[in-house]
Structure 1
Amino acid sequence: MATRDALWGYRDAFGDAFGRTYFRRFGPGVASSVGLGTYLGDPTDAVDDALRETLRLGIESGANHVDTATNYRCGRSERVVGEAIREAAVDRAAVVVATKGGFLPFDGDRPDDPAAYLRERYLEPGIVDPADLVGAHSIAPGLLEWSLDRSLDRLGLERVDCYYVHNPETQLESRSREAVYDALEAAFETLERRRAAGDVGAYGVATWDAFRVPEGADRYLSLREVLARAAAAGEAVGPDDDHGLAAIQLPFTVHMADAFTRANQRLPDDPDGDPVSTLEFAHEAGLAVVTSASVGQGELAADGAIPAAVDARLSGDTPAQRALNFARSAPGVTCSLVGTTDPDHLRENVAAGTFDPLGASAFDATFE
């Protein structure tokens, strides 16, 4: 697991090479604000080898926040993350490792008949109840228990530092919002027990739409209610009334800046007041914010992809660096994820952190 001393030691070893606020508070210490994502890539041995090398290089170059999920690349990404951490010349305790559960994963490759595979692998053995499924998604406690155990096994780790409930808004396709909040509370109780057992350091909610869309939209979830359900789970599990909900994850780019621009969340201490943005809510609640798709899955790495007026305000030698630095500059953002299997792109991405992010006023000005 990541420890305070090791994380601060990593910061002391690499901090002078990077710009202002490159290392930011996360978990028991600090971690890099450029994170290593593992979502993209075919489930092949060749991609495994390339991803393993870029992850190792990133960890050894100043990026010590690694993000994956049980279903990424048919389960291969978790295995590769574990291998890269073991191969890197960096102490495991100096690396923040996050993974996710919620989607039923394949095992190494895509089956010819996915429906038959899911039925034989998950439904017939009773790993998941069909009543809890929306498509290939469930956040039922039994599946999350299974998924966490599977993740620890694939990673080869005794503990993950942050475990996300993956895209809970998927459940809204078949369930009421109140039923989804109830399911989240049950999921959080499971993760509270695993936190008490030492299997996870903290937990979070990773989303695509839930915290970006307008209040009341079909795939909307209230952060106030999510936080309240975590507090209830913490109180129910004990031994104290604290809880382990520590982070949210959502996409954030110059073209998907809703978490900053849209006022769609109600603060716990002012439920009848004006809504605030997700980033402001997270800041007020002390939640870390991790951004996904920070370079638009590569689209923002092209010349001209960032609007010229915004691009001119951002620091960085390349469009990809400036796109990353836009995401890292948003108030309240803890880490911006970017994935690659190309060593040159990895070096380019990590080097984005050598440039200072925009200050709050300068970031606000990009929307004028």
Structure 2
Amino acid sequence: MNDEKKIKGYASPEGTSEYKEWCIKNRDVNLENFNKIEGIHLSSIGMGTYLGKPDSKTDKLVIDAALESIDKGINVIDTAINYRFQKAERAIGEVMKKLSNTNIKREYIFISTKNGYVPGDADRGLDSSEYIEEVILKKDLASEEEIINFNCTTIPYLEHQITQSLENLNVQTIDLLYLHNIAESQKPILGEEKFYEMVERCFKFLEKKRKSDIIRYYGLATWDCFRVSSSNPNYVSLKNLIEISKNGAKKVGNASIGFKFVMLPYNLMIPEAATMKFQEGKTFFEVAKQNNIGVFTSVPLMQGKILDEPQIQKLRERYSVKTAAQSALQNIRSYGEPIIAPLVGHKQLEHVKENLEVAKIPPDI
């Protein structure tokens, strides 16, 4: 796809402010449903796209759910190149195409995606192993040794994956690009020194991509590297990442750093980011807040497992909400800074409606 055919723009302060006002006026969304970071107004609930089969039926569910979410007050859409073997990104690409014919502007919507994992390609009939053979090795994007646990961060590979993500998403600019589980996949194999050298190369490369508005921001999407102690091989220091980002920005001539966001799991069953002082004597959330790092949280409903927790049922009464899912989402968005939004993977329209009821009430801070 030519760049001219891709949708221009990115989530902007002006655009997201306009979207916020429109939602408050026309969709009964609460004024406090939006959090402001880097001047942009982001909904305190986001939509994730992780689960589902790599088929056209799931595509339609995701497309319809995303369109309904955006129409009713969610402007944070999260995906990844490897979700559903690239079909998750492509479904969001269809959403962007459909929205280009409406009053919903590109500047209203914050799109995050992830690179790093070997994605496969459902539309080409390639699983992840076949993708390594047919794409990565044939195009000389990385050697077999540089692919660790189906995760790869060589610069040629990241260059290729960003180009593919832009194509899939049908946009000229990605608002937020995460490096996907790079610590969990690679750090135990690489070791401390080589891991941070790899991060340094990646961050410098991503800072260059910011200069040409290919991406606006970057971060790490993680599972446990920010929730374990420094004795764990997966452990990563947030302060180290910020320093590496500063050096990368300086080397390419950027006035500010692009490393402004992270994703990690957080809910009542996985509370470590808020409770454990694993980051140089502070909790992860404390360090993130002090350094203006925004946090998106994954698995807010634990794929449904959290809904039967007694504490969630008690919180329903406190928050005056009708369902356990609403209680779980309200609990996370009520934490306050540095959390921007829990990312919920709703596909059924009744679940979209249920979850969006939370946007009509303020966080309980």
Q: Distance in 2 between matches of 1:206 and 1:112?
A: 24
Superposed CA deviations along residues 104-160 of structure 1, whole A, max 9, x for unmatched, are: 111126958643442232123212222321121012222111111110011110001
Q: Which runs of 5+ in 2 are unaligned?
A: 1-9
User: Are the equivalent residues in 1 in contact too, given 2:263–2:298 (CA < 8 A)?
Assistant: yes
* DSSP 3-state at the match of 2:74: coil
Paired residues, number: 349
Select 1:15's aligned residue among 21, 24, 28: 24
| Residue 101 of structure 2 is aligned to residue 95 of structure 1 | no
Select 1:156's aligned residue among 170, 174, 178: 170
Superposed CA deviations along residues 59-83 of structure 1, whole A, max 9, x for unmatched, are: 1111010001111110001111121
State the partner residue of 2:212.
197
User: Are the equivalent residues in 1 in contact too, given 2:261–2:293 (CA < 8 A)?
Assistant: yes
Q: Which runs of 5+ in 1 are unaligned?
A: 267-274, 360-368
Counterparts of 1:1-368 in structure 2 under 5 Å? 1-15=10-24, 17-19=28-30, 21-88=32-99, 89=102, 90-108=104-122, 114-169=128-183, 170-240=185-255, 242-266=256-280, 275-300=281-306, 302-304=307-309, 306-332=311-337, 333-359=339-365
Superposed CA deviations along residues 314-348 of structure 1, whole A, max 9, x for unmatched, are: 44210001101111122321111001210010111
Query: Which letter does structure 2 place at the counterpart of 1:283?
Result: K
Q: Distance in 1 between matches of 2:211 and 2:249?
A: 10
User: Are the equivalent residues in 1 in contact too, given 2:316–2:322 (CA < 8 A)?
Assistant: no
Task: Name the structure where helix makes up a greater proportion of residues.
Answer: 2
Superposed CA deviations along residues 188-239 of structure 1, whole A, max 9, x for unmatched, are: 1111000001111111111011111123212110101111111111111114
Query: Which letter does structure 2 place at the counterpart of 1:145?
Result: E
Measure how far apart 1:312 and its partner are. Answer: 4.3
Query: Which letter does structure 1 place at the counterpart of 2:55?
Result: T
User: Are the equivalent residues in 2 in contact too, given 1:27–1:161 (CA < 8 A)?
Assistant: no
Measure how far apart 1:176 and its partner are. Answer: 0.6
Superposed CA deviations along residues 148-177 of structure 1, whole A, max 9, x for unmatched, are: 111001111000111111112111131112
Measure how far apart 1:311 and its partner are. Answer: 4.9
Give the TM-score normalised by the residue count of structure 1.
Answer: 0.90
Superposed CA deviations along residues 42-92 of structure 1, whole A, max 9, x for unmatched, are: 101100011100001101111010001111110001111121123234111
User: Are the equivalent residues in 2 in contact too, given 1:177–1:221 (CA < 8 A)?
Assistant: no
User: Are the equivalent residues in 2 in contact too, given 1:315–1:325 (CA < 8 A)?
Assistant: no
State the partner residue of 2:5.
none
Q: Distance in 1 between matches of 2:277 and 2:201?
A: 28
User: Are the equivalent residues in 1 in contact too, given 2:119–2:128 (CA < 8 A)?
Assistant: no
User: Identity rate of aligned residues, in percent?
Assistant: 28
State the partner residue of 2:6.
none
Query: Which letter does structure 1 place at the counterpart of 2:300?
Result: S
